[in-house]
Chains A and B, each alone.
Chain A
Amino acid sequence: MLNYIWLGLMLISLIFGAITGNLKAVTDAAIEYAGVAVDISLGLIGIMAFWLGIMKIAEKGGIIRILSRAIRPLARILFPDIPKDHPAIGSMMMNVVANWLGLSNAATPLGLKAMEELQELNPDKETATNAQVIFLAINTASITIIPMTVIALRTKIALENNLTGVNPFEVISTGFFASTIACITAVTAAKLLQRLPNVKKSNPMNKLSKAEVENE
């Protein structure tokens, strides 16, 4: 699917760029964003190294295992393919909690650590497992308790325009509601889509044991 979306975005950009006379802007954007992508990736090195180091200590200290055990019932439903109390579950929990607390600097490294642990269970290193897709769904539609970015923006615009009656916080409850719906829907969609014949056939876990997949 990503192949089609990517091709579609590129072709649409070129065609509409030509129609609107923005072709120069389109090629400029390609060069600019390639650089931005590298900046973002390299910017992760320090914070990644820090959290991977801390997580290694946490793992040796047994905290990750305690966390994995704490959410065992939920983990059995969401990730039936993951062995009981596997450290990946504890890492995923750390990522989700960091997201809820709005600690975006910590959430990404913790999430990538969890993804790596899920990858260790994956017999095919290029194809996502069901567990990896569910975990991605939790992160692409993450629940937001406090939308700090938007609150800051609302406060700033209200101040700049001397709007005294504006309540910057009034979108907390609506944002929480909408993001919760988004998260539940994304996870449910991932669960349902994995039953489609084509999707089921492409599950890398099939290679491991046919019996386990059928039990599910």
Chain B
Amino acid sequence: MNNAQNSTFVDFMQGFSIYAIPVILLVVLTLAMIKKIKVYEIFVDGAKEGFQVAVRIIPYLVAILVAIGMFRASGAMGYLVKFLSPVTSLIGMPAEALPVALMRPLSGSGTLGIVTELMKEHGPDSFIGRLTSTMFGSTETTFYVLAVYFGSVGIKKTRHAVAAGLIGDVAGMLAAVMICHIVFG
């Protein structure tokens, strides 16, 4: 796709995003009106749970973010990169991109910081710039999502959730390396 086609597609999706919420609200309220639902009473009834849900997340999110914050501050990432980069370079991942892959499941803002630095240094249209941009979009911040989603209902025993999430992250990173080699050469 060229630049113009791409921005048309983005405009379309952005337009979609802008209208999506008003359309959802309109549909919900119209149906409620037809069914003669007491909307104000029902809304307030549902909304009052918002506080409890948010407060319930706090201990889970504190546990996860503190551990990740400490890990980031410790400088251990540098050693991990040195240790792993001989392996990852075999599959075509430049050593510069490895911190992005390792940081992605831990911290969204941390990853964005690394991607910003790499793109400033190498340029957004360098292979590293393209690859790390793709990596950023290829998955979510697994530990954050886990803490918020399971924390909101008080689940402590996560069973195979972490393993499944991390396997997905690895697959996303490998897929990013592969597709960038094919598309950008």
Contacts and interface: CB of A to CB of B under 8 A. Distances in A.
A82 interface: no
Given A14-B74, A141-B139, A30 B69 contact: yes
B92 interface: no
Main secondary structure of the interface of B (DSSP, over half): helix
Interface in A52-97: 52-58, 60-63
A213 interface: no
A125 to B, nearest CB: 6
A147 to B, nearest CB: 3
A164 to B, nearest CB: 11
A150 B136 contact: yes
Contacts of B32: 57, 60-61
A211 interface: no
A97 B49 CA distance: 23
Interface in B17-47: 17, 20-21, 24-25, 27-29, 31-32, 34-35, 37, 39, 42-47
A48 B53 contact: yes
A37 B133 contact: no
Contact of A56 (B46, B162, B163, B169): B46
> Considering residues B76, B137, B176, which has the most beta carbons from chain A within 10 angstroms of its beta carbon?
B137
Contact of B145 (A62, A140, A194, A199): A140
A34 B62 contact: yes
Main secondary structure of the interface of A (DSSP, over half): helix
Nearest to A98: B20
A5 B162 contact: yes
B183 interface: yes
A10 B76 CA distance: 11
A44 B151 CA distance: 13
B140 interface: yes
A6 B67 contact: yes
Contacts of A136: 145-146, 149-150, 161, 164-165
A153 B157 contact: no
B135 interface: yes
Given A34-B66, A57-B28, A102-B17, A190 B74 contact: no
B47 A52 contact: yes
A13 B158 contact: no
Nearest to A127: B157
A119 interface: yes
18 contacts: A2-B146, A2-B162, A12-B71, A15-B74, A16-B79, A32-B69, A42-B55, A48-B50, A49-B50, A126-B154, A140-B139, A153-B115, A153-B119, A171-B137, A178-B176, A182-B172, A187-B164, A189-B168
The 6 tightest CB contacts between A and B, nearest first, are A186-B168, A56-B46, A49-B50, A182-B172, A147-B137, A33-B69
Given A46-B50, A61-B35, A178-B172, 12 more contacts: A17-B75, A30-B70, A37-B65, A38-B61, A57-B37, A119-B154, A125-B154, A126-B156, A128-B150, A174-B180, A181-B171, A182-B172
Interface of B: 1-3, 6-7, 9-10, 13-14, 16-17, 20-21, 24-25, 27-29, 31-32, 34-35, 37, 39, 42-51, 53-55, 57-58, 61-76, 78-79, 105, 112, 115-116, 119-120, 123-125, 129-130, 133-142, 145-146, 148-150, 152-165, 167-169, 171-173, 175-176, 179-180, 183-184
